[in-house]
C-alpha cells in the first residue's frame, strides 16, 4: 500500500483560476511562532492578518451581493470567527484534509481556494468551484483536499473520521481537520464519530467553533453540559478549550493537535471560543431577537483582527501604512472576485444532467 | 371568513387544538423563544408556556423519539422538524417506532401524534435543502401523509391530524407560508383521506397535491383561456389516497396528467397512475403522463434550478399531449 495520493485539480477545465491562484502553503510547525527566527515571526503575523482581512472583506461583499440578489438561498457569514480558519490553515500541509459545515467561505479562502471561484460559486456561475451547482453551503475543491461544505448539522463529522481512517489505512501522516458549530455536539453522529476516532486512533482534529448560538438558541438552552470539552473525556480523547479570538492561541492548540495526529495517530477535540458578529444567515438580524445589541457590541470589541492588530502595533511591527495596504489589498481581491463572478456565464443547461452518477467502472 | 396566510392558518389550528386538549404539546427546534424558524408557532410560548411549547437541541432523532415515548403513555405530541430535510435524521423513529408501534403491539399502543414541518424546494437552497419527501413517507404502512395546498386546507387538515389517533406526517409547503386565502373561523376540520376537486372541466384531469395543486390551478386557469377546461384533483392526503375521487374525474375526462414536486422514480405520481390504470383502464383515451422534478439533485444556480423544477409550461405541454393537441 502506498500513501502517495494522486490529487487532481477540481474541475480543471472549467475553473483554471482555482489552481492558478493557490498560494504556496507553509509546512506544519509544532507550535505557533515558537522556534521561528524573529523576522519570520513578523512575516507570519502579517500573513495571518492578511488572511483574516481577506476573509472579512470578501464576506462583506457577499452580504452586499446577497442584498442585490446576486447570491441566493442560504448564506452564512463567518465574520468574527476568522482567527480559527486563519490559524488552523496556516499549520496544514497541502496533503492534509479539511471538512466543514455550511459556514464555509472563510475556511475555503484561508485554505487557499481562489476568492474568484468561491464568489463565482456563490453567484451560481459555471466558473464556481462546484460549477454553480453547490452554492454557498457546498464549497468543494479536490485540488486543495477541501472536502466541503455540508448542510446538515453534524452529518459531516463522521466523514472526517472516514478520512482519518483512509489516512491510517494507507499508512500516511496527514491529518484531517473537521470544523462544526457548538450546536452539533448534541447530534448523534458527532458522538458516534468521536468514539470511532478514539477507538481506532484516527488522525483527526475535531474543531468545535463555539460561537455560543445555534441559530437563535444560546448554548445554555440546548446543552446540558456547556463545557463541551468534557465530551473529549467521554471518549478518552485529548480536549482543550481555546480563546479563539487570538489567532496565536488557535495556532498553539491546533499545532499540538496536529502533532498528536501525525505522530501518535490520535484525535483531539478542540473548543474554539468565538462569537459570530452577523446573524445566523442573511435572514436573521445580528441582534435584537435572541441576543442584545449590548452583548454583540461587547463581543465585537474582541474582533480577532483587532486583537492581532493591536498586538502587532504594540510590538511596533505594523506601521500605519502597512495596515492600510493590507486592507486595501484585501478589498481589491474581493472586488476582483466580484467582477470575475459577475462576468462569468451561468452554467449551460446541459449541466443539469451532469454529475448525477459517473460513467466509469474500476 | 378571514383572509389569512397559510402560516397564520396553521398557527390558528395549533392554538385551537392546544386549547381544546391539554395532552397536546408542540416540540421542535426554535419553536418557542424564536417563534418558529418559519414563525408558524408565533405567540404560542407566551400563551401556553414552556411545557407545551418546547425548544429542543438540534437532535432530531432524539426528540422524535421523545415524542413517541410520550405518546405511548397518553400524550399527543406535535413534533416540528425545522424542515423535512432534517427529519431524515429521525426517519428511524418515524418509520421503525411510530409507524409500526400499533401493529407490533397487537393494537395496544396507538400513536396519536403529528410530525410536521416545511417540505419541498424553496429558492436556491441547493441539493441538501430542497427536497420533497412525500413518496418516501407514503410508502410506509401505519403512517398518514397530509399535504395541504391552501390556508383553509392547512387549518382544517392540521386540526384533523392532531385529533387523529395515528401518526400523521404533515408536510407544509416551504414556499406556501406567505400565500393567502379565506379560512373559516373557529371549529373547521377536513377529513383525512379526502381529495378536493379544485377546478372543474371535462377535457383532462390534473392530479396534484401540496404546492403543485396551486400550480395545477394556475395551469387550469391558463388553459381555460384557450377553451380547455380541466379538472384539478387536489389529493390533500397522499396516504390514504382518495382513489374514488380520482377515478370519478378520469371516467369523465378520459385523460390524466399527474403533477408532483418530487422525483419520477417510485414517486407519488407512479402510484396515482397505477390506481388509474386499474380503475379506469377502459375509460382512458391516452396514456397518463407525469410532470415532476427532473431526475437530478436540486442544483444551486438559478437557471439550472428553474430547469429542474416542474412548472406551468411543462404541465401545459403534458395536458396538450394527452389531448393530442401537441
Ligand atoms: C440536522 C439539522 N437540523 C437543523 C438544521 C438547521 N440549522 C442549520 S444551522 C443550525 C444551527 C447550528 O448551530 P451551530 O452548530 O452552533 O453552528 P453555527 O451555525 O453557529 O456555526 C440549524 C439549526 C440543519 N441544517 N441540520
Ligand atoms: Mg454556533
DSSP H or E stretch at residue A16 = helix A16-20
The stretch A98-110 carries a mean pLDDT of 98
Mean of pLDDT over chain A = 91
Ligand 2 centroid vs A272 CA: distance in angstroms?
Answer: 11
Banded pLDDT at B120 (limits 50, 70, 90): very high
Query: Over 80: is that where the pLDDT of A1 sits?
Result: no
Q: pLDDT tens digits for A106-143?
A: 999 999 999 999 999 999 999 999 999 999 999 999 99
pTM of the model: 0.93
Q: Where are the domains of chain A?
A: 36-334
Q: Is A132 on the interface with B (CB under 8 A)?
A: yes
Q: Is A319 on the interface with B (CB under 8 A)?
A: no
Grid cell of A15 as nine digits: 475553473
Q: Where are the domains of chain B?
A: 2-183, 196-322
Q: Is A351 on the interface with B (CB under 8 A)?
A: yes
Give residue B216's pLDDT. 98
Grid cell of B161 as nine digits: 391530524
Do A151 and A137 form a contact (C-beta atoms < 8 A)? yes
Do B224 and B162 form a contact (C-beta atoms < 8 A)? no
Q: Please list every protein residue whose CB sits less than 6 Å from any atom of ligand 1.
A: A 103, 151-153, 181-184, 209, 211, 213-215, 280; B 29, 58, 60, 82, 86, 89
Ligand 1 centroid vs A151 CA: distance in angstroms?
Answer: 8
| Residues ≥6 apart with Cβ < 8 Å to B274 | none
Residue nearest to atom 25 of ligand 1 (CA): A152
Banded pLDDT at B222 (limits 50, 70, 90): very high
Atom of ligand 1 nearest to the CA of A76: 19
Q: Which residues pair with B119 in a beta bridge?
A: B173
Please choose from A158, A183, A185, A220 the residue to mutate so as to test ligand 1's pocket, defined by most ligand atoms within 8 A of CB.
Answer: A183
Q: pLDDT tens digits for A187-206?
A: 999 999 999 999 999 999 99
Q: pLDDT tens digits for B32-48?
A: 999 999 999 999 999 99
Task: Name the 3-class secondary structure at A44.
Answer: helix
What is the dotted CATH code of the domain comprising B196-322?
Answer: 3.40.50.920
Over pLDDT 90: what percentage of chain B?
A: 99
Question: Exactly one of B129, B139, B264, B279 is catalytic; which is it?
Answer: B129
Best CA proximity match to A250, nearest among A221, A228, A268, A273: A273
Domains B2-183 and B196-322 share a fold: yes
Q: pLDDT tens digits for B137-190?
A: 999 999 999 999 999 999 999 999 999 999 999 999 999 999 999 999 999 999
Q: pLDDT tens digits for A202-238?
A: 999 999 999 999 999 999 999 999 999 999 999 999 9
DSSP H or E stretch at residue B303 = helix B302-308
Give residue A33's pLDDT. 52
- The class (CATH top level) of B2-183 is alpha beta
Chosen from B55, B63, B66, B301 to mutate, greatest number of chain A CBs within 10 A: B301
Grid cell of A275 as nine digits: 462569537
The answer to whether residue B129 is catalytic is yes
Question: Exactly one of B60, B172, B260, B261 is catalytic; which is it?
Answer: B60
Give residue A360's pLDDT. 87
Distances (CA, A) of B199 to B181, B206, B217, B245, B297: 16, 9, 7, 13, 32
What is the dotted CATH code of the domain comprising A36-334?
Answer: 3.40.50.970
For the beta carbon of residue A285, count every other beta carbon within 10 angstroms.
Answer: 12
Amino acid at each position: 500500500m502506498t500513501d502517495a495520493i494522486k490529487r487532481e485539480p477540481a474541475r480543471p477545465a472549467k475553473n483554471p483560476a482555482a489552481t492558478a491562484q493557490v498560494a504556496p502553503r507553509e509546512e506544519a510547525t509544532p507550535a505557533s511562532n515558537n522556534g521561528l527566527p524573529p523576522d519570520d515571526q513578523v512575516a507570519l503575523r502579517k500573513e495571518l492578518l492578511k488572511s483574516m482581512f481577506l476573509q472579512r472583506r470578501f464576506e462583506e461583499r457577499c452580504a452586499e451581493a446577497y442584498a442585490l440578489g446576486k447570491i441566493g438561498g442560504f448564506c452564512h457569514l463567518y465574520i468574527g470567527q476568522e482567527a480559527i480558519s486563519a490559524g488552523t490553515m496556516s499549520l496544514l500541509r497541502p496533503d492534509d484534509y479539511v471538512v466543514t459545515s455550511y459556514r464555509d467561505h472563510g475556511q475555503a479562502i484561508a485554505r487557499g481556494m481562489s476568492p474568484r471561484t468561491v464568489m463565482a460559486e456563490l453567484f451560481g456561475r459555471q466558473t464556481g468551484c462546484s460549477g454553480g451547482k453547490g452554492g454557498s453551503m457546498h464549497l468543494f475543491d479536490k485540488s486543495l483536499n477541501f472536502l466541503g461544505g455540508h448542510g446538515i448539522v453534524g452529518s459531516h463529522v463522521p466523514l472526517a473520521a472516514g478520512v482519518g481512517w483512509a489516512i491510517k489505512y494507507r499508512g500516511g501522516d496527514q491529518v484531517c481537520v473537521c470544523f462544526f458549530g457548538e450546536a452539533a455536539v448534541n447530534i448523534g453522529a458527532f458522538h458516534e464519530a468521536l468514539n470511532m476516532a478514539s477507538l481506532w486512533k484516527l488522525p483527526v482534529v475535531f474543531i468545535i467553533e463555539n460561537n455560543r448560538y445555534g441559530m437563535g438558541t444560546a448554548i445554555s438552552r440546548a446543552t446540558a453540559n456547556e463545557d463541551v470539552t468534557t465530551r473529549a473525556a467521554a471518549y478518552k480523547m485529548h480536549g482543550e478549550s481555546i480563546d479563539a479570538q487570538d489567532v496565536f492561541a488557535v495556532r498553539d492548540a491546533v499545532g499540538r493537535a496536529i502533532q498528536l495526529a501525525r505522530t501518535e495517530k490520535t484525535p483531539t477535540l478542540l473548543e474554539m471560543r468565538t462569537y459570530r458578529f452577523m446573524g445566523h444567515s442573511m435572514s436573521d438580524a445580528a441582534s435584537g431577537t435572541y441576543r442584545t445589541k449590548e452583548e454583540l457590541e461587547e463581543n465585537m470589541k474582541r474582533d480577532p483582527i483587532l486583537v492581532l492588530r493591536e498586538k502587532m502595533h504594540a510590538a511596533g511591527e505594523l506601521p500605519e501604512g502597512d495596515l492600510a495596504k493590507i486592507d486595501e489589498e484585501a478589498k481589491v481581491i474581493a472586488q476582483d472576485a466580484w467582477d470575475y463572478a459577475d462576468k462569468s456565464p451561468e452554467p449551460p443547461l446541459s449541466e443539469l444532467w451532469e454529475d448525477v452518477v459517473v460513467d466509469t467502472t474500476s | 371568513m378571514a383572509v389569512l396566510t397559510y402560516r397564520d392558518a396553521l398557527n390558528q389550528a395549533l392554538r385551537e387544538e392546544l386549547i381544546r386538549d391539554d395532552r397536546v404539546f408542540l416540540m421542535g427546534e426554535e419553536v418557542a423563544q424564536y417563534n418558529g424558524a418559519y414563525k408558524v408557532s408565533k405567540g404560542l410560548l407566551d400563551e401556553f408556556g414552556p411545557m407545551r411549547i418546547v425548544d429542543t437541541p438540534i437532535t432530531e432523532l432524539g426528540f422524535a423519539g421523545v415524542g413517541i415515548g410520550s405518546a405511548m403513555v397518553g400524550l399527543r405530541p406535535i413534533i416540528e422538524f425545522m424542515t423535512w430535510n432534517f427529519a431524515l435524521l429521525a426517519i428511524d423513529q418515524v418509520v421503525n417506532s411510530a409507524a409500526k408501534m400499533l401493529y407490533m403491539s397487537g393494537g395496544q399502543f396507538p400513536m396519536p401524534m403529528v410530525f410536521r414541518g416545511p417540505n419541498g424546494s424553496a429558492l436556491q437552497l441547493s441539493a441538501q435543502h430542497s427536497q420533497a419527501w412525500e413518496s418516501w413517507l407514503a410508502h410506509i404502512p401505519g403512517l398518514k401523509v397530509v399535504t395541504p395546498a391552501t390556508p383553509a386546507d392547512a387549518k382544517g387538515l392540521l386540526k384533523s391530524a392532531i385529533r387523529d389517533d395515528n401518526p400523521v406526517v404533515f408536510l407544509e409547503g416551504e414556499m406556501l407560508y406567505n400565500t393567502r386565502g379565506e379560512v373559516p373561523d373557529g371549529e373547521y376540520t377536513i377529513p383525512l383521506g379526502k381529495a378536493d376537486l379544485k377546478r372543474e372541466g371535462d377535457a383532462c384531469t390534473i392530479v396534484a397535491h401540496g404546492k403543485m395543486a396551486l400550480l395545477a390551478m394556475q395551469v387550469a386557469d391558463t388553459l381555460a383561456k384557450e377553451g380547455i377546461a380541466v379538472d384539478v384533483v387536489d389529493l390533500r392526503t397522499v396516504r390514504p389516497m382518495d382513489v374514488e375521487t380520482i377515478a370519478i374525474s378520469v371516467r369523465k375526462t378520459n385523460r390524466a396528467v399527474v403533477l408532483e414536486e418530487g422525483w419520477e422514480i417510485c414517486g407519488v405520481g407512479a402510484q396515482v397512475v397505477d390506481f388509474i390504470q386499474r380503475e379506469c383502464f377502459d375509460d382512458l383515451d391516452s396514456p397518463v403522463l407525469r410532470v415532476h422534478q427532473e431526475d437530478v439533485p436540486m442544483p444551486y444556480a438559478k437557471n439550472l434550478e428553474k430547469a429542474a423544477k416542474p412548472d406551468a409550461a411543462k404541465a401545459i405541454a403534458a395536458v396538450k399531449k394527452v389531448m393530442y393537441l401537441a
